Amino acid sequence: MSKVHKDFYGALSCAFQFLDERYGVDILDKFLEQVGRNCYKELISKINQCGLLALEEYWRKIFTLEGGEFEIFLDTDSITLELRKCPAILHLKSVGYPVYKDFCRQTRVINGIIAGETGLGYSVESYQEEARCIQKFWRIK
């Protein structure tokens, strides 16, 4: 059975803070781009094979396992995730870990890599203080 150790969110936030402080935000982005390319290969491959359904399956699995409150809207050309309660930000706040000032940057950068590798369009509206975001991918005609 899969385990969820939510304190990892705290280490992640700390890692972003480290990269920003020591090397600057451009290097943080460069790192996140590398994460997108190397750690999301399997998801990218599934999207290229199965289309937007692969994203639906991925989001449902991750946010169910980690306890997010969300809704997914799928049609033939696009998919939208409305994440109403982000499990990461809520955990960081509840435990009292520092939240990196642009914690949601990771989603914008990594989704950009996923979109680039799959030929999809994408957008991310993040509201970090409210622990929510809207992520969208769509087919480019």
Partner 1 sequence: MISCTEFILAYNELFSFLDENYGKQAVIGFWEYISDRFLTNLDQLVGEKGIVGMKEYWTHTLTEEGAEYEMKVTEDEFEIFMKECPSVKILNNSKVKKYPNYCDHCDLLYRRVIEKYGFTYDYEFIDREKGICRLIVKRAYGGKDV
Q: Which residues bind partner 1 (CB under 8 A)?
A: 1-12, 14-15, 17-19, 22-23, 27, 30-31, 34-35, 38-39, 41-42, 62, 65-66, 83, 86, 88, 97-98, 104, 106-107, 110
Q: How does DSSP assign 2-40, residue by residue? A: ----TTHHHHHHHHHHHHHHHH-HHHHHHHHHHHHHHHS
**Least distance CB 90 / partner 1 (angstroms):** 12
Q: Please, which residue, 22 or 141, has the CB nearer to partner 1?
A: 22
Q: Please, which residue, 47 or 104, has the CB nearer to partner 1?
A: 104
**Least distance CB 141 / partner 1 (angstroms):** 28
**Least distance CB 92 / partner 1 (angstroms):** 11
Among candidate residues 116, 68, 108, the one with its CA nearest the CA of residue 88 = 68
**For helices 105-118 and 8-23, what crossing angle results, to 10°?**
90
